[in-house]
Amino acid sequence: MPKIWYRSRKYQVIIIALIIFCIFYYTSLGDNLYREPNLDLTRRWPKLRARTHWLARPKSTLSRLASLESLPVSSVAQADARHAPRAVKDLNVDSIDLGLTNTNNRYIEKRLEEALKEDKGTGCEIPKLDPFAKEVTQFDKELPKIVCQGQDWVKCYHAECKVVQKILDTTTNIKCTYNDIIYKSDSEYKIGPDTVVAGKDAYTLTASDHVKVKCTGNHVNSILPSKWTGHSLGFRSTVHPKKPPPRRENTINVLILGFDSTSHNGFIRRMPKSYRVLLDELRATVLSGYNIVGDGTPAALFPILTGKTELELPDVRKKMKNNGTLDSMPFIFYKLKEDGYRTAYFEDMPWIGTFQYRFNGFRHQPADHYLRSFYLEESSRGKKWFNVGSNNKYCVGDTPQYKLMLNITDQFLKLDGKRFCFTFIADITHDDFNMISTADDDLVHFLRSFQRSGNVEDTLLMVMGDHGPRYAKVRDTLQGKLEERLPLMAIVLPESLKRERPNIQEILLSNADSLTTPHDIYATVLDALDLRQHWNPYKVTGADFTRGLTLLEPIPKNRSCSEAGIEPHWCACLAWRDVSQDDELYQKTANALVNYINSLTESMRHKCAIRKLSGVEWVMRQRANSRMLSFVAAKDADGYVGQFGARVTPNTENYQAKIIVAPGRGVYEASMVYIVKEDRFEINSRDISRTNAYNNEPSCISDTHPHLNMYCYCND
């Protein structure tokens, strides 16, 4: 039998020697190998503070902080181990604490400062996207509506839970055992003791908003006993909001209704009835320039609910293993509780919760009414969702989960006192946005009920998306990338606020086409509640105004992405750039415009001369910024740093040109659309302007063909 080569002692020695050599070689290169920037650069300041607790000699803080902040990203490790102690030597601890707020976010802020040098004061041209462009509608598909089976025996309304009439009419000897689902923390809950209730008697919620219920009885048409197990939710009677401060008893209510992965255009396509109700019946103002400020849901919700980005807040990510929680963060719920509000935060899909998936969540529920423990129990901590072939993962008993969310929100709005509610629905959009269409009729019903119930009088309504689709195939198109950055934000101002401040509806409408962000939503809510003292005064270094601006005051039209706190690869704004004379499209654009002008006068060629290009003043091309075009996805798990690749090629490009033609001297400016794949231009006469007087040039046709006056140069 021939000997296998790798059993040879000689080859084994060679292999081991090669492995040892590779290990030593890689180790020797360690300091020279490329390393991804330390994504926790902005998280090192709390350590810095801890190391300086013993220092008390006052010195100039700003200069020393600046010297540390100026270290390059690649020097983070060395700065943490060696430079930081030297930099903070003799610093006053209180001074460091004051500086930490502005330095925690240094990594991102540095990039914004650099971008600000390029775009400050340039404003933003929001892309005009056709919601029904073939580029995106090719991915639309009709999915079956969610239909839930069975009949729930017990429903709760506010604090009262009881057997529904349909079951009372068909079943006798009913006994139901109620167990409260009691929240202990975001990661833990307990099931309360049994409470047995017979027949039509009610069970009152006191320990929790949520119950697990088991019922038995005898159906009138069966000799066998009937059984039902399910879950229900309402509002415990033991929540008593604080008394509002003097003269703040009647401030308005707030409802923010959010849908995961929902772009402005996507909502128009897939929720057409709801969109028309928002516009035509509720007179909502839809923000066409509402732009995300980061990757994923937390990047949208942290600014709306705290006025800050994730990086400006304490680091409580799971991977830090510091056991920190979100309880210490300045959520708006806490501010409003002190102002006498009853608060609610409703979110489904707790296994991928906004504040639990990457973070340690809350130790104490952030709002008076909070669904996390309910959904953890009802879904068996998410196991229900992953049952292959399961048809009920979108259902809670006999009700679609999204409808349950709308129902409990509607109930909340009928409670007494001042109310603030944030409802976020994810199950019908997270995995396949096409499924949101199943909720169109029910959302229409909810919105009309909102109006009929009189909530339009005293409740600020916002219907929003956190971002557009991130992982769907549509995201591979240019319009899909832009839609990801332009989520839905529709705002309905309460009538009482419009009477109090007569101009705000007009101001809000004027801001609809301006560049806006989640930071502005936070500022707007506080403005509407007359709580401006809680505004975040933060400015990007070098900017002329604060990052967050209220929509109830005019937004500067020259506001740029960097000034609004939007990094270039998240910025959806378009910009006009000069086309180089060396670019083949420079001459093609000019020639296309001349040819089109000649085509307009072709019918009068016997009188009008052929115009020839005698000069090109300029050619400009409109494009999204290069970082946005080449952005692929977040490089890191937290979405701080982008991964970039090949640019997405657009199907069309917008051009503008200014040319001079002969005979005579006709000067024209025009906007044109270049069809990339077909290598041709589309031009409309309405988009052409003649910028100099034509005088007597068209005298031969001006009486009979006046519409050609600006193009014709008479032969005679």
What's the rounded Cα separation, in Å, for the pair 468 and 632?
15
Same domain, 480 and 600: no
Q: Report the alpha-carbon distance of residue 533 to residue 536 in Å, rounded.
A: 9
- The helices-and-strands tally (H runs, E runs) of the chain is 23, 25
pTM of the model: 0.75
Predicted pLDDT at 74:
30
Report the range of poorest mean pLDDT among 22-31, 98-107, 335-344, 565-574: 98-107
| Residues 97 and 25 grouped into a single domain | no
CA-to-CA dists, residue 345 to 57, 259, 365, 410, 522, angstroms: 45, 14, 9, 13, 16
Question: 672-705 burial, b if ≥16 CB within 10 A, otherwise e?
Answer: bebeeeeeebebeeeebeeeeebeebbebbeeeb
Residue 293 has pLDDT above 90, yes or no: yes
Tell me, yes or no, whether 62 and 191 share the same domain. Answer: no
Does 598 lie in the same domain as 623?
yes
State whether 92 and 199 are in the same domain: no
Do 332 and 195 have their domain in common?
Answer: no
Q: Are residues 565 and 578 in the same domain?
A: no
Same domain, 478 and 547: yes
User: Sign (positive/negative) of CA torsion 166, 372, 385, 271?
Assistant: positive
Last residue of a domain, one of 539, 570, 601: 570
Residue 138 maps to a domain: no
585 and 681 assigned to the same domain: yes
407 lies in the same domain as 552: yes
Please check whether residue 561 lies inside any domain of the structure. Answer: yes
User: Cα–Cα distance between 477 and 650 in angstroms, integer?
Assistant: 8
**pLDDT top residue among 703 and 439:** 439
Looking at residue 86, its pLDDT comes to 29
Average pLDDT over residues 24-45: 45
Check pLDDT > 50 for residue 622: yes
Residue range(s) defining the domain that contains residue 82: 41-104
Q: Is residue 127 part of a domain?
A: no
200, 341: one domain? no
Over residues 385-396, the mean pLDDT reads: 77
Last residue of a domain, one of 167, 202, 233: 233
Tell whether the model's pLDDT for residue 646 goes beyond 60: no
Nearest to 241 by CA among 58, 368, 156, 86: 368
**At residue 306, does pLDDT exceed 90?**
yes
pLDDT band of residue 45 (cuts 50, 70, 90) is: very low
- Tell me the C-alpha distance between 559 and 125, whole Å: 10
296 occurs within a structural domain: yes
Residue 335 has a pLDDT of 97
In a domain, 453, yes or no: yes
> Is residue 132, in this structure, part of any structural domain at all?
no
The enclosing H or E element of 411 equals helix 401-413
Residue 116 lies inside a defined structural domain of this protein: no
* Cβ–Cβ under 8 Å, residues 385 and 351: yes
The CATH number assigned to the domain holding 428 equals 3.40.720.10
Query: How would residue 100 be classed by pLDDT, with cut points 50, 70 and 90?
Result: very low
Q: Does residue 264 lie within any of the structural domains?
A: yes
Radius of gyration of the chain (CA): 32
Looking at the chain, the whole-number percentage of residues with pLDDT higher than 70 is 83
Q: How crowded is the C-beta side of 361, counted as CA atoms within 13 Å?
A: 18
Q: Are residues 393 and 531 in the same domain?
A: yes
CATH of the domain at 586: 3.10.450.10
**What digits encode the pLDDT tens for the residues 550-602?**
999 999 999 999 999 998 778 888 777 789 999 999 999 999 999 999 999 99
Domain boundary among 570, 590, 625: 570
Whether pLDDT at 478 is above 80: no
| Lowest-pLDDT range of 46-60, 359-373, 456-470 | 46-60
Tell me: cis bond preceding 272? Omega within 30 of 0 counts: no
pLDDT band at 27 (very low <50, low <70, confident <90, very high): low
- Total structural domains within the chain: 5
Q: What is the mean pLDDT of residues 670-696?
A: 88
